[in-house]
Structure 1
């Protein structure tokens, strides 16, 4: 990731409504939410929400897909991961005693479900 892309993503998240939108969409992965539901959930006028979603989309943090008459937005968690990894690259000059606790705190709150073995 280039510095300019990281700056664009961080700037997009540096506004309270957009941060709330991204967090809401992350909670609704992988299904996503229609724009109207996002606006309603956050009590933001739809035209204002459209502007926020456009900024997040240009920053590469959300994706949109049209389904009939509605547009469903999803958080791009891979893009967010790239931003976080960009910020942590060269963390603490490679000293594990400093960056270890930080990395531990970043461990996901929910472990992935174990895959079932197929019976043959």
Structure 2
């Protein structure tokens, strides 16, 4: 992932409704959810949700697909994995990271 794509993904997630939408779609898994179910679950008006889904889609974090008369949205796990890899590629200065709970690079036993 390049810097511009990372910034776009982070910017898309830096809003409460979009972050909640993305997290809900992660929970839904590859099957995704219809926009109407997302709006119902999160209590977001359809007109607002449409804008948020567009932003997440433009950032490559979700993808829509047509199923009959419904549009189903699903999280793009590859994009999030690429973002996490981008954010952590220089973790601990190239040294193996310590287990969670220890400071990065600390020598505690």
TM-score (norm 2): 0.88
After superposition, where does 1:24-43 map in structure 2 within 5 Å? 24-43=24-43
- CA shift at 1:42, angstroms? 0.3
Tell me the distance in 2 between the aligned counterparts of 1:51 and 1:19: 13
Q: Distance in 1 between matches of 2:5 and 2:29?
A: 23
Q: Which runs of 4+ in 1 moved over 3 A?
A: none
Q: TM-score, length-normalised on structure 1?
A: 0.80
Q: Distance in 2 between matches of 1:92 and 1:65?
A: 39
Root-mean-square deviation (CA, aligned residues, Å) is 0.9
Residue segments in structure 2 that go unaligned for 5+ positions in a row? 101-109
Residue 102 (structure 2) pairs with residue 101 (structure 1): no
Matched, 1:50 2:46: no
Gap runs ≥5 in structure 1: 103-120
1:3-58 CA distances to partner (integer Å, 9 max, x unpaired)?
A: 00000000000111101101000001121000010011000000100000000000
Q: 2:16 and 2:98 mapped to 1: Cα distance?
A: 29
What is the CA distance between 1:94 and its match in structure 2?
1.4
Question: How many residue pairs are counted as aligned between the two chains?
Answer: 100
SS in 1 for 2:43: coil
**3-state SS of 1:100 partner:** coil
